[in-house]
Amino acid sequence: MGSALGLNDQAGALMALTIATWNINSVRLRSGLVQKFLKEAKPDILCLQETKCPDDQFPHGDFRKIGYGHIAVSGQKGYHGVAVLSRLPFATQSVKQFAGKADCRHISVELSENAGSLAGLVVHNFYVPAGGDIPDPEANEKFAHKLAFLDEMKQWGKKDKPASKKAVLVGDLNVAPLEHDVWSHKQMIDVVSHTPIECDKLNAAIKSGKWVDAVRTLKPEPEKLFTWWSYRAADWVASNRGRRLDHIWVSEDLAGSLKKTEIHRDARGWERPSDHVPVTLTIA
CATH of the domain at 18: 3.60.10.10
> Residue 4: is its pLDDT beyond 70?
no
- pLDDT tier for residue 114 given thresholds of 50, 70 and 90: confident
40 vs 125: CA distance, rounded Å: 22
100 vs 123: CA distance, rounded Å: 22
Give the pLDDT score at 261.
98
- pLDDT tier for residue 11 given thresholds of 50, 70 and 90: very low
ω into residue 222 within 30 of 0, thus cis? yes
What is the arithmetic mean of pLDDT over 72-100?
A: 97
pLDDT digit string (tens) for 132-171? 999 999 999 999 999 999 999 999 999 999 999 999 999 9
> Residue 106: is its pLDDT beyond 70?
yes
Helix 141-159 and helix 196-209, axial crossing angle in degrees, nearest 10: 20
Q: Which of 215, 240, 223 is nearest to 180 (CA)?
A: 223
Q: Specify burial of residue 230 (Cβ count, 10 A radius: 0-12, 13-18, 19+).
A: exposed
Q: Which of 185, 196, 181, 180 is nearest to 245 (CA)?
A: 181
- Pairing of the two strands 82-86 and 45-49: antiparallel
What is the arithmetic mean of pLDDT over 201-208?
A: 98
168 vs 203: CA distance, rounded Å: 16
pLDDT digit string (tens) for 43-66? 999 999 999 999 999 999 999 999
**CA 60 to chain centroid:** 20
Beta-strand runs (E) in the chain: 17-23, 45-49, 70-74, 82-86, 90-94, 106-111, 122-127, 167-172, 211-213, 228-229, 242-243, 246-251, 258-263, 279-283
Residue 115 lies in domain: 4-283
- Please count the structural domains in the chain: 1
- The answer to whether 233 and 153 have CB atoms below 8 angstroms apart is no
Percentage of the chain surpassing pLDDT 90? 92
The model's pTM: 0.94
What is the 8-class DSSP label of residue 174?
-
